[in-house]
Structure 1
Amino acid sequence: MSNINLIIEERPRNIGNFMVGRLLPFKDKRMVGPFIFIDHMGPVSLSEKENMDIPPHPHIGLSTLTYLFEGAIMHRDSLGTEVEIKPGQVNWMTAGSGIVHSERTPGYLRHSDKTLHGLQIWVALPKDHEDMACSFYHADEEDLPQWTEGDIRYRLIAGTYAGKAAPVPVYSPLYLLEIKSSTEQTLHLGSELYGEAGLYILEGSVTGEGHTFEPRQLLVAKDARLCTFTMAPGTTIYIFGGEPLPEDRLIYWNFVATDHEHIDKAKEKWKAQDFVPVPGETGFVPLPPEPSNLKIK
């Protein structure tokens, strides 16, 4: 990738049931466009006695995007949504002023061995949308724009790219693009990208500026318009980014906001359990201790 500004290595984080690889936020690059949080989840093998069980927890000021490579997750939220996400599908949940959801292994998989692998992503909402009503959107694999150019396969997961638009309802200019190559290919994507751009390598390798980059690395470009790189055979990458938001963001736990007032209000509301509950759920994730620094830019 030409004009590489930063290389971010995955950092291990424990989310309870298993370890994930944290990509964003990073100390030297808190956001890429409106993307404020990215975890590479797995691949993890769970036995018949192990399951993903993330009890109800709240969000404000963001949209969450779940995209799986393997496995399945049952999503339930305070809107009454109950939907299973499978590989190639998209769960897009917009928190706005507040939503609560749980994520669990589906019932039919809870007593068998299984694998879970995917991406968990947060996209910060623009300031004039951070108090919007919450919503949920599920896209099946066939709903997403997909096309081939020679030995390269493209899938637009969210946003807009090259005149194509994914169906998920985004609220600022952005893109999340999956690219797979079966042979060595050199790509020149800069003319279709905008804002800030990041390139995440899931498998295979990418060469740029005389250097080869491996899986679990995130490359951040200095200028998205100069995005050029070579993919090795059998490589899968994700290009994401978009127009940066003009204001700084605060992040505390699952809350993202432009000011402390929104964060403090959400904290007190969750302590009092005043968020709308998830139907059929009884437990919840308690509010964690206060971090020393909330500022995310």
Structure 2
Amino acid sequence: MSNLASELIQDCSVISGCSALKLVLKPKDKDLGGFRVRRTLPTKECRSVGPWVFFDHMGPAHFEKDQGIDVRPHPHIGLATVTYLFEGEMLHRDSLGTKARVLPGDINLMVAGRGIVHSERQREEIKAGPQNIHGLQLWLALPTDLEQTEPGFFHYDKTEIPEVEPNGVPVRVMMGCAYGVTSPVKTLYETLYIEARLKAGQTLVLPEAEEKALYIVKGALALRETKLDEHSMAIFGDESGITVTAQRDTVLAVVGGAPVGKRYMEWNFIASDKSLIEQAKADWKAGRFAKVPGDEQAFIPLPE
């Protein structure tokens, strides 16, 4: 979703933790017209975790009849977006001609590469009555050799995502490898993304990754003497065998992987070279990006 560069870098609360922790971030809620978004990455203290450079938690939100999410067409370069819903439905359209419903449990991966335009709306059938929305939207920075790759869109049904139960804890391996299984979701760099659902008192050893972070969607965890509250993100060092214990029923996401190196971020654009961002800004302002079939008229102007 679209934001000014100054709004992307959040000023989050930072809590010191045990030796396994580098940071614990507590995002501030943002009201985006009827629903809340919690942006945890990027922050001034942590710009990325592995290739992940953006982490939004939207909702849970309730919409009355004729209300809903309505994000007009906007461009991206140099990144891949991952949209994942716990509840509700969204409609993705892009300049490749893709028209895809985003449903709970599915993985929707959009690779912007050298440039793509998309909109995020909801079908009129959905807005015809009351509805709820709850999900995550994440951005991955593309490795330098793939920043200018051809754009693409990849949809994975929830039945394709592998599920395992380490120590009796249901885990979905969304991207990358963990607990002896590998997700079919396309990766362009060393990437980790899992979801776990712990009952109160259950423990989970986190999967290995060069860099990793844990976000608590719902619930609370303990890491040795440190308590991790709902909606907090723990940034870990390279210590292995990190174990967390659920203080109550908890849903968590773990993201990580290998760092891709320094990236510049402005509005919806990410690049290793500022000139690529300047060119993208000029191209969007001049109308040189491709249109979104079926959503050609509306667009979000370049912030000035």
Tell me the TM-score normalised to structure 2 length: 0.90
Distance 1:29 1:150 in 2: 31
Q: Which residue of 2 aligns with 1:217?
A: 232
- Residue 250 of structure 1 aligns with an amino acid whose one-letter code is Y
Shift of 1:205: 1.0
Give the counterpart of 2:150 among 121, 133, 139: 133
Q: How does 1:12-23 map to 2 (within 5 A)?
A: 12-16=29-33, 18-23=35-40
Superposed CA deviations along residues 118-176 of structure 1, whole A, max 9, x for unmatched, are: 00100000000000000000111100011223531000111222332212211111110
Q: Which residue of 1 aligns with 2:11?
A: none
Superposed CA deviations along residues 169-213 of structure 1, whole A, max 9, x for unmatched, are: 111111101011124122223xx4121110101111110131221
Q: Which runs of 5+ in 2 are unaligned?
A: 1-17
Distance 2:239 2:54 in 1: 19
Give the counterpart of 2:263 among 214, 230, 249: 249
Matched-pair contact (CA < 8 Å) for 1:250–1:260: yes
Work out whether 1:124 is the aligned partner of 2:141. yes
Work out whether 1:275 is the aligned partner of 2:293. no
Work out whether 1:286 is the aligned partner of 2:289. no
Q: Which residue of 1 aligns with 2:279?
A: 265
Q: How does 1:54-93 map to 2 (within 5 A)?
A: 54-93=71-110
- Residue 119 of structure 2 aligns with an amino acid whose one-letter code is S
Calculate the aligned-residue CA RMSD, in Å. 1.5
- Residue 263 of structure 2 aligns with an amino acid whose one-letter code is R
Instruction: Report the 3-state secondary structure (helix = DSSP H, G, I; strand = E; otherwise coil) of the residue aligned with 1:234.
Output: strand
Q: How does 1:179-258 map to 2 (within 5 A)?
A: 179-189=196-206, 192-245=207-260, 247-258=261-272
Matched-pair contact (CA < 8 Å) for 1:7–1:219: yes
Work out whether 1:164 is the aligned partner of 2:181. yes
- Residue 271 of structure 2 aligns with an amino acid whose one-letter code is A
Shift of 1:2: 5.8
Q: 1:158 to 1:277 in 2, by over 3 A?
A: same
Superposed CA deviations along residues 196-255 of structure 1, whole A, max 9, x for unmatched, are: 11010111111013122111000011225242221234111111101111x310000100
Distance 1:249 1:130 in 2: 11
Matched-pair contact (CA < 8 Å) for 1:269–1:275: yes
- Residue 276 of structure 1 aligns with an amino acid whose one-letter code is A
Q: 1:2 to 1:207 in 2, by over 3 A?
A: farther
Q: 1:276 to 1:176 in 2, by over 3 A?
A: same
Distance 2:54 2:169 in 1: 28
Distance 2:270 2:243 in 1: 33
Shift of 1:20: 0.5
Q: Which runs of 5+ in 1 are unaligned?
A: 290-297
Q: Which residue of 2 aligns with 1:112?
A: 129
How many percent of aligned residue pairs carry the same amino acid?
38
Distance 1:61 1:33 in 2: 15
Superposed CA deviations along residues 259-285 of structure 1, whole A, max 9, x for unmatched, are: 111000100000011111100111000
Moved more, 15-24 or 273-282: 15-24
Shift of 1:17: 5.2
- Residue 52 of structure 1 aligns with an amino acid whose one-letter code is I
Tell me the TM-score normalised to structure 1 length: 0.92
Distance 2:139 2:122 in 1: 21
Distance 1:2 1:202 in 2: 23
- Residue 216 of structure 1 aligns with an amino acid whose one-letter code is H
Matched-pair contact (CA < 8 Å) for 1:4–1:219: yes
